[in-house]
Amino acid sequence: MIVPLEHVLILAGILFLMGALCAVVRRNLVMILLGVEVMLNAAGIALTGAALRWNALDGQAFVLFIMGVAAAEVAVGLALIVHLRRRTGSLDADAYSELKG
């Protein structure tokens, strides 16, 4: 059974909105990173659904690229978050609003 493209795009849109809300509303750096990851996964779902609809492998290859970028983003993002937590003792995004040279 093949899921219609409209259903896939609706699911991807809902996930993207949830990720965007999480990234914008939350102040915790880990939750902001999680929201960005959900948005990347939503884009991957939309591309996979479109690739299945038009029988093209380009979308699936692009999703593999997105997964690699997301993995690198998580590694770098978590390393930065751990460093900031050790340096300041806080994960609040407002605590880092003023950067010092």
CATH 3.40.50.2300 fits 29-88, yes or no: no
pLDDT for res 96: 78
3-state helix, strand, coil in the chain (%, to 5): 80, 0, 20
pLDDT for res 100: 65
Return the closest-CA partner of residue 31 out of 42, 40, 20, 41.
20
Please write the tens of the pLDDT for every residue from 33-81: 999 999 999 999 999 999 988 988 888 899 999 999 999 999 999 999 9
Q: With the C-alpha atoms ordered 6, 1, 44, 17, is the resulting torsion angle positive or negative?
A: positive
Q: How far is CA 78 from CA 31, 32, 85, in A?
A: 11, 11, 10
Structure tokens at 77: 């993002």
Does the structure show a pLDDT above 80 at 1?
Answer: no
